Structure 1
Amino acid sequence: MTGYHDYVLGLIPAALLGVTAVLAMGGLSVQAAVPVGGGVSALLIAHAMFVRGPTTATPAEGAVRTETATASPPNAD
């Protein structure tokens, strides 16, 4: 099942190459178009990391914990 971060991984090179190509064909020099495409890719990466960052799975309500904070350490003897 593909998720948001899978799509972002596909959009990073597509944005870099696509934005660069569109700007270069639109009359901007390649030396100026590449940083703009790189900036768009960097914004995608930043959004995926900081705005919709990966999360860890949380235990469901009512799930039984096998270890508690007050449990004694195992006896090595």
Structure 2
Amino acid sequence: MAQYYDYVLGVIPLVLVGVTSLLSIAGLDLTMAIPAGAGVAALIIGHALFVNMPTRPTANTADASQRANAE
């Protein structure tokens, strides 16, 4: 099953291409539309890294869950 970071990895290129093409179609020069699209993609990456941080299970929580399953 896909999780949050799988969706983030899929959304990054979609946002980069989508925002760039929308701004280009709207009349903005391509040299300005590409950095704008990259900025939005960078905001998504920043959200994934700093707002919704990836966490690793620690040894203590893994041991506790194994003990709970054994009982």
Q: If the length of structure 2 is used for normalisation, what is the TM-score?
A: 0.81
**Identity score, percent:** 50
Equivalent residue, structure 2, for 1:13: 13
When the two structures are aligned, how many residues end up with a matched partner? 64
RMSD value, Cα? 1.6
Report the equivalent of 2:50: 50
Structure whose residues are more often helix by fraction: 2
The equivalent residue for 1:36 is 36
Higher relative contact order (CA 8 A, sep 6+): 2
Give the aligned residue type for 2:10.
G
Instruction: Find the aligned partners of 1:2 and 1:53 in 2 and give their Cα distance.
Output: 17
**Unmatched 5+ residue regions in structure 2?**
none
User: What 5-or-longer segments of structure 1 have no aligned partner?
Assistant: 65-77
C-alpha displacement of 1:14: 0.4
CA distance in 2, matches of 1:62, 1:11: 33
Normalising by structure 1, we get a TM-score of 0.75
Structure 1 residue ranges, 4+ long, deviating more than 6 angstroms after superposition: none
